[in-house]
């Protein structure tokens, strides 16, 4: 009886592993869209609108590497621009019509309000994509916490993004 039970569990495990391998996922995902940021301008905060794009290469169904770029312009009393370029791992949970993801990225953050300064930046966040076609998805929401060190102070920035994802290749 124990041998049959073990064989049944082994067969179930192998069947689920094979089914998981048969599910397709894209080799590359390209995102482009709108980005809103709430920037810490100690002692106050400022809002800015801009663009964001990212390119993710998926190494397997749940893990990939992401290169992320974004730029913003804003400020009510004092005009400023930001530019960021980050790289790091991305973890995904893929379902039939949705893809949840989280990432941790490191790179450079440029802040310019008359005196341009580029320093270390980070990006921790995640989001939700919903498939709208075979090779496209709509990024319903992406929320990122972006701490950046500028002018000797760590600034706590929050970004919210939405846009379109294009998927290429199958693995």
Predicted confidence (pLDDT) per residue in 38-79, tens digit: 887 656 778 899 999 999 999 999 999 999 999 999 876 678
Instruction: Give 136-166 pLDDT, tens digit per residue.
Output: 999 999 999 999 877 777 888 899 999 999 9
Quote the DSSP letter at residue 33. E
pLDDT number for residue 57:
96
When pLDDT is cut at 50, 70 and 90, the band that residue 100 belongs to is very high
Rounded to 5 degrees, φ, ψ at 103 are -145, 160
Q: Which of 170, 86, 66 is nearest to 127 (CA)?
A: 66
Q: 26-168 maps to which CATH number? A: 2.40.160.20
Using pLDDT thresholds of 50, 70 and 90, give the confidence band for residue 17: very low
Distance CA 169, CA 143 (A): 27
Q: What is the pLDDT of residue 97?
A: 94
Q: Which of 26, 41, 29 is nearest to 80 (CA)?
A: 41
110: Cα separation from own chain's centroid: 19
Judge whether residue 25 has pLDDT over 70. Answer: yes
pTM of the predicted model as reported, rounded to 2 decimal places: 0.81
């Amino acid at each position: 009886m124990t041998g049959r039970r073990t064989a049944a569990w082994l067969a179930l495990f192998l069947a689920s592993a094979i089914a998981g391998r048969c599910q397709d996922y894209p080799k590359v995902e390209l995102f482009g869209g709108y980005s809103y940021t709430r920037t810490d301008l100690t002692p106050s905060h400022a809002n800015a609108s801009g663009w964001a794009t990212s390119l993710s290469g998926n190494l397997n169904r749940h893990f990939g590497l992401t290169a992320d770029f974004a730029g913003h312009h804003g400020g009510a009393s004092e005009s400023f621009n930001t530019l960021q370029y980050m790289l790091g791992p991305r973890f995904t949970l893929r379902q039939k019509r949705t893809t949840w993801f989280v990432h941790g990225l490191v790179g450079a953050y440029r802040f310019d309000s008359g005196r341009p300064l580029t320093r270390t930046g980070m990006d921790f966040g995640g989001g939700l994509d919903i498939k709208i076609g075979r090779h496209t998805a709509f990024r319903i929401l992406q929320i990122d916490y972006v701490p950046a060190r500028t002018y000797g102070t760590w600034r706590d920035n929050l970004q919210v993004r939405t846009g379109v994802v294009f998927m290429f290749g199958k693995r």
